[in-house]
């Protein structure tokens, strides 16, 4: 078992406008990428639990085989700069994904 953080080249989160957070994961090794892709560990049900959101807040989970990349986008529960928003750029939301083992 490996954690995503131990094999991803890049794992980032970022607002894409104040209402969405989008995550990009890039791999160097096709083996790791395919293993994670085929495991189906990154599914709406489990990701929504990790982030305390409803499944329908996840707007997409995309696999980009040609560049060994995965993108996940979700609608924020608290948009950027609304009261109690703790990350106005959404740039530090990756930890729960980073710790996923596969």
Residue 95: name the closest of 39, 35, 25, 43 by CA. Answer: 25
Which of residues 43, 59, 65, 101 is near another protein by CB under 8 A?
A: 59
Smallest gap from Cβ 35 to another protein, in A, equals: 19
Q: How far is the CB of 65 from another protein (least distance, A)?
A: 12
Residue 32 · residue 7 · CB < 8 Å: yes
Shortest CA distance to 4 belongs to which of 55, 74, 28? 28
Contact characters 22-51, another protein, x per CB under 8 A: x-x-x-----------------------xx
């Amino acid at each position: 078992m490996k954690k995503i953080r131990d094999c991803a080249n890049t794992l980032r989160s970022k607002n894409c406008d104040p209402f969405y957070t989008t995550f990009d994961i890039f791999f160097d090794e096709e083996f790791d990428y395919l293993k994670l892709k085929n495991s189906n560990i990154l599914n709406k049900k489990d990701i929504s639990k990790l982030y305390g959101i409803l499944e329908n807040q996840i707007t997409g989970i995309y696999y980009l085989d040609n560049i060994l990349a995965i993108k996940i986008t979700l609608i924020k529960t608290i948009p950027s700069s609304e009261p109690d928003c703790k990350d106005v750029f959404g740039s530090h939301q990756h930890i729960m994904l980073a710790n996923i083992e596969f």
